[in-house]
Amino acid sequence: QSALTQPASVSGSPGQSITVSCTGTSSDVGGYNLVSWYQQHPGKAPKFIIYEVSKRPSGVSNRFSGSKSGNTASLTISGLQAEDEADYYCCSYAGNSIRVFGGGTKVTVL
Amino acid sequence: QVTLRESGPALVKPTQTLTLTCTFSGFSLSTSGMCVSWIRQPPGKALEWLALIDSADDKYYLPSLKTRLTISRDTSKNQVVLRMTNVDPVDTATYYCVRTYWNTHQEFDFWGQGSLVTISS
């Protein structure tokens, strides 16, 4: 299993919307509706923000949304805020109980 | 309240065996659908899933590390242990213990604070 492909960085101004992509294959992202997303601030453990492609856990802002098309999943952050500046990771189920992460995307708020 | 905490050595010599313990509370690994994984993150790099153990005591490993990893559990103590043999400096990373509730596909919903392990002579 190879890591999922994410852009190294994405940036936006406060109030804007940005999208982080996560590209895999038909064996992982494209094969299952089991993509999740995590937010990680420096020096902290990751935080669970999206599961099953587009579901938000309780307590997660509705400014975070997820989607999928074919082998590519996406995380959209709307109404970008300074506190959203962090690293974001996607993860997909890849069959046989294997999981695979993306390489991570640094989101910068300009 | 779900919590997980990793414990283990901060420094391990190359070729030795690393043993990490995850002590958790707020859920039972005997509950159908509950899973605990180990995930690591080398300094400045991405997350990497390593291994998972589930409520049926089934175990799954990252294929590229399968020969070096062993995951086990002690349900009476609410602990999950990861052993990694023949460690190398490239195994230097923060190791996280993480819960999944598979019945609702809530993947990695709770994380420990992480345990930084340095592999060096």
Counting one residue from chain A and one from chain B, the pairs whose CB atoms sit within 8 A come to 62
What pLDDT shows up at residue A2? 83
User: What 3-state DSSP class applies to A13?
Assistant: coil
Q: How many CB atoms lie within 10 A of CB A55?
A: 15
In percent, how much of chain A has pLDDT > 70? Answer: 99
Residues of B in contact with A36 (CB under 8 A): 107-108
Buried b (16+ CB within 10 A) or exposed e, A14-53: eeeebebbbbbbebbbbebbbbbbbbbeeeebbbbbbbbb
The one-character DSSP state at A51 is: B
Length of chain A: 110
Work out whether the CA dihedral A43, A47, A52, A54 comes out positive or negative.
negative
With CA atoms as reference, the chain A residue closest to B52 would be A97
Q: Which of B48, B108, B113 sits opposite A48 (nearest CB)?
A: B108
Tokens of A68: 């999928």
Burial class (CB in 10 A: 0-12, 13-18, 19+), B97: buried
Q: Hey, is the C-beta of A37 within 8 angstroms of any chain B C-beta?
A: no
**B14-69, pLDDT tens digit by residue?**
999 999 999 999 999 999 999 999 999 999 999 999 999 999 999 999 999 999 99
Secondary structure tally for chain B: helices H, strands E: 0, 11
Residues 4 through 33 of chain A touching chain B, CB cutoff 8 Å: none
What pLDDT shows up at residue A28? 96
Tokens of B87: 């460690």
Cβ contact, residue pair B107, A89, below 8 Å: no
Cβ contact, residue pair A38, B108, below 8 Å: yes
How confident is the model over B81-93, as a mean pLDDT?
A: 98
Question: Rounded to whole angstroms, how far apart are CA atoms B103 and B54?
Answer: 11
Residues of B in contact with A92 (CB under 8 A): none
**A8-34, pLDDT tens digit by residue?**
999 999 999 999 999 999 999 999 999
Residue with tokens 């993306």: A102
Q: Where does the pLDDT of residue B81 fall: very low under 50, low under 70, confident under 90, or very high at 90 and above?
A: very high
**Region for A103 from its dihedrals, namely left if φ exceeds 0, alpha if ψ lies in -120 to 50, beta otherwise:** alpha
Cβ contact, residue pair A46, B52, below 8 Å: no
Buried b (16+ CB within 10 A) or exposed e, B35-55: bbbbbbbeeeebbbbbbbbbb
How confident is the model over A72-101, as a mean pLDDT?
A: 97
Which residue type sits at B17?
Answer: T
Q: How many CB atoms lie within 10 A of CB B24?
A: 23
Q: Where does the pLDDT of residue B114 fall: very low under 50, low under 70, confident under 90, or very high at 90 and above?
A: very high
How confident is the model over A68-75, as a mean pLDDT?
A: 98
How confident is the model over B99-103, as a mean pLDDT?
A: 93
